[in-house]
Structure 1
Amino acid sequence: MQLFKKVAAAGAAMIAMTALSTVGASPANAATYGGQCGAGYHQVNWEPIPHKGAVYLTYNKSTGKNCVVTVRHKRGKPVPMDAELKVYGTSKSIVDSGKFKNYAGPVYVNARGKCVTWGGRIDGGKAFVHKSNCR
């Protein structure tokens, strides 16, 4: 019984340490998706841009459209940013590119039943997904 208690305690400690290290791995001021794509869009994936922000992929089930937005950690002076989205296997990307204070995008593509590739940049930092997302 004593051995069981020690093993259980050690297991609980490992779980707690794993949870703390996972929580500590994300920046305290991490960018979050704030509904920039509009009503009915739900986040389906995201990629961090280390020390700068993140890129979010969303989907609207009723319209069959995907949307991408690139969001900074902190609003500030305008910096080069972009958000990019395309139907997988096509050559035409939809891109919003320029100098922005808070976010680039949203950009939209009809993709019901198709795969998309997506990504974004903030001031030279890259976050492009090399896999595709399919709906």
Structure 2
Amino acid sequence: MSLFDQINTDLTTAMKAREKERTAALRNIKKVLIEAKTASSSHDLEDTEVIKIIQKLAKQGTDSANLYKEQGREDLAAEELVQVAVFEAYLPKKLTNEELTTAVKAIIESAGATSIKEMGKVMGLASSQLAGKADGKDIADMVKALLS
């Protein structure tokens, strides 16, 4: 079952269980996925594309929650964080700092990089291999630390 189909099934289940917040979050995901489907030339979305879209939604929700907190709107921040929790349930498990360090070291060795000048080459490999498992900023910081 594809991730898109899983989201549809979970949406139906949440609607039957009358889970208001979960239903709203899943509808939001489905809306964005349908928009992406119609915008692309192929009519099927791969799971990797779905994951990227959900990651983007989760990041936007987290940013919105932070803005709401800064403005003293804890009620709106809580709503956003509930949706982000639903989004994150469909994302792959994030790497711990130790796992990220090990993965980046292996990528640096396979690329044969020895200096910070080769960061671009390492980042290209790391970004593709660790997509969805770690944030790009965290990957970049780790590469910088290991190459300097």
Provide TM-score, normalisation by structure 1. 0.28
